[in-house]
Amino acid sequence: MPRPPPERTEAPLDETSGPPGDANRSGKSPVHESDRDLAREAKRGREGAVEQFIERMRCVPRMLAAMNSRSGRPLDDQELGDLVQETLAAIWKKLDEFAGHASLETWAYRFCAHEWANGVRRKARRPTLASECEEGALLRRSSHPEKGPGLADALDSGLERLRESEAAVIRCRHFEDLTFEEIARRLALSVNTVKTRYYRGLEKLRDHLAAFGDGEREARP
């Protein structure tokens, strides 16, 4: 099993960091002015620029597939497809910051490497999260308030912080005791997508519910 990559860092993405063999650029003056102008026009919503930008970003799935292949394919096709969408969303969100010091493809490569590492690490942590959340007392007792006063409220408040797509899967799993296959049929999703949203949601819920559990233990005589 591939070793999970290092913990995510919050260092800003560097436009000049690109794939091996891609010459790094430096200096304050943009060397890819046409790419910079394209990014600005696409972000403003100009139709022709948006279409051209989308075409340029076809490199993203190819880059992610290559990274996955070189590392022994730790992500399956569905997970890789989800990661492509997340990476493209991250690129679009930061597009205003692209200054043209590197090509759009070189800039996109840095996002691919960053998001791919995070995706592999999230998957590596899933068994631990499942053990903590599915087998732990907090979520097991969520549908029985008489066994844990305030637990249902704590879980509801945590779910409200999640994306609705993630919260819906967790509610189906723990409030209705549905299997992943049953949830997939109900929501018209693939089983892999259901699992991805479920474990991602649990990761976000973990700290919130752990804080509740700590408070509950401290309140005991």
Summarised one tens digit per residue, pLDDT across range 1-31 is 444 444 443 334 445 444 443 444 444 566 8
pTM: 0.53
Pair 108, 172 in one domain: no
Please state which of the ranges 11-15, 27-31, 116-120, 194-198 shows the lowest mean pLDDT. 11-15
Q: Is the pLDDT of residue 154 over 70?
A: no
Q: Is the pLDDT of residue 134 over 90?
A: no
Pair 212, 181 in one domain: yes
Helix (H) or strand (E) holding 51: helix 47-56
Could you say which of 125, 149, 179 is where a domain stops? 125
Q: Show the tokens assigned to 67.
A: 């990274």
- Inside any domain, residue 28: no
- Inside any domain, residue 19: no
Answer for the pair 220, 103: CB distance below 8 angstroms, yes or no.
no
Q: Show the tokens assigned to 220.
A: 């005991």
- Inside any domain, residue 9: no
What range defines the domain where residue 101 resides? 33-125
CATH (domain of 106): 1.10.1740.10
Answer for the pair 120, 5: CB distance below 8 angstroms, yes or no.
yes
Summarised one tens digit per residue, pLDDT across range 36-77 is 999 999 999 998 999 999 999 999 999 999 999 999 999 888
CATH (domain of 186): 1.10.10.10
Pair 202, 164 in one domain: yes
Pair 109, 178 in one domain: no
Pair 120, 39 in one domain: yes
- Inside any domain, residue 6: no
